[in-house]
Amino acid sequence: MQLNDLIHRQQLRWKACSLVIVSLLILVSFFALSVGELWILPWSPDGALEAQLLYQLRFPRLIAALMIGAALASSGAVLQVLLGNPLAEPGVLGISGGASLALVLLLFFVPVDPTAAMTMSAAMLGAFTFTLILVGLSRGGRVSTAKLLLIGVALGILSGAVVTWAFYFSTDLSLRQLMYWLMGSVGGVSWSQLSIGLLVVPVLLWLCTRGKQLDVLMLGEVHAKQLGLDVVKLRWKLIMVVSLLVGASVALGGIIGFIGLVVPHLLRLALGTENRYLLPLSAISGALLLAFADTISRIALSAAELPVGVVTTTIGAPIFVWMLLRSHID
């Protein structure tokens, strides 16, 4: 009886927290649409200028922030289970760097201007390659969690170095301007880009329904197989989905770090490790965090706009150091 009461209270905590976060997400979304050089009421823009600002700039920017935040947070939650590492995150492990590296190579070696579909495909391929390397190294305990983390960081540094060299020797002004975007920005997202990016929404919804399978996978591969779970098939599906989500996020908004690390880890600390609740709540919380961070990046300076990646890094880096010291990984 006590166990049932404990489970019931835990479920109520998840539901109550979900209600609070959804409410905050709605409030932040309305604030993001309203605030700026012109204060606009989202439900009644006054004149053609306000309508254009709202529907052509602020709406696509908000939708992109929500999509990217949800994709990165849920991807981080899945990677932490797949790699058995509480510090796993697309940015920290270099997966986002792999996507950005593929994008820069595409811009350098493809003679025509790449379409949105081409950039999305290149980013996904780069993310998939780096994800495959990390998952392959993590299987069978070939390397410790600390070494795996360092390998991911090294991959991210390597990709960053290649990107920096590419920018340094480039004479293309648009390629140089891309450096700002790679610092993380959703300011230039258009409806045409979102139309392709929205293809990841059903993938994200599918990922959020894999919680029960991830709960079984956390018991260990042997126990998971005994319970009838096809571990190999599930792992490949999750690798593909994470690569798609991270690649699409980088293609839309550049490298935005620490959302996939901070959000799922703090939710686990506060509420528990049940992935059937954690995955959808991570997606909602990631959307909330990035929408809030992007709003701060727009209004923090009166004469300029901060890259949103700088804001998320400022929030996430101290928390990452605290988590690293707290985890005592070997």
DSSP state string for 64-132: HHHHHHHHHHHHHHHHHHHTT-TT--TTTTTHHHHHHHHHHHHHHH-SSPPPHHHHHHHHHHHHHHHHH
Given a contact cutoff of 8 angstroms between Cβ atoms, the answer to whether 107 and 171 are in contact is no
- The mean predicted confidence, pLDDT, of the chain is 84
Q: Please state, as a whole number, how many other Cβ atoms lie within 10 Å of the Cβ of residue 209.
A: 11
DSSP-based three-state secondary structure for 3? helix
Please tell me the predicted confidence (pLDDT) of residue 97: 84
Which of these, 299, 317, 322, 286, lies nearest to 73 by C-alpha position?
A: 286
Q: What is the mean pLDDT of residues 150-169?
A: 80
Which of these, 19, 87, 23, 15, lies nearest to 274 by C-alpha position?
A: 15
Please tell me the predicted confidence (pLDDT) of residue 178: 67
pLDDT band at 173 (very low <50, low <70, confident <90, very high): low
Please tell me the predicted confidence (pLDDT) of residue 60: 93
List, as one string, the DSSP characters of 29-72.
HHHHHH-SSS---TTS--HHHHHHIIIIIIHHHHHHHHHHHHHH
140 pLDDT above the threshold of 70: no
Please tell me the predicted confidence (pLDDT) of residue 174: 56
- Reported pTM: 0.88
Say what percent of the chain tops pLDDT 90: 24
pLDDT band at 26 (very low <50, low <70, confident <90, very high): very high
For 219-237, what is each residue's pLDDT tens digit? 887 888 888 888 888 888 8
Which of these, 278, 263, 249, 291, lies nearest to 127 by C-alpha position?
A: 249
What is the phi-psi region of residue 225: left when phi exceeds 0, alpha when psi lies from -120 to 50, beta otherwise?
alpha
More confident position, 35 or 171: 35
What is the phi-psi region of residue 190: left when phi exceeds 0, alpha when psi lies from -120 to 50, beta otherwise?
beta
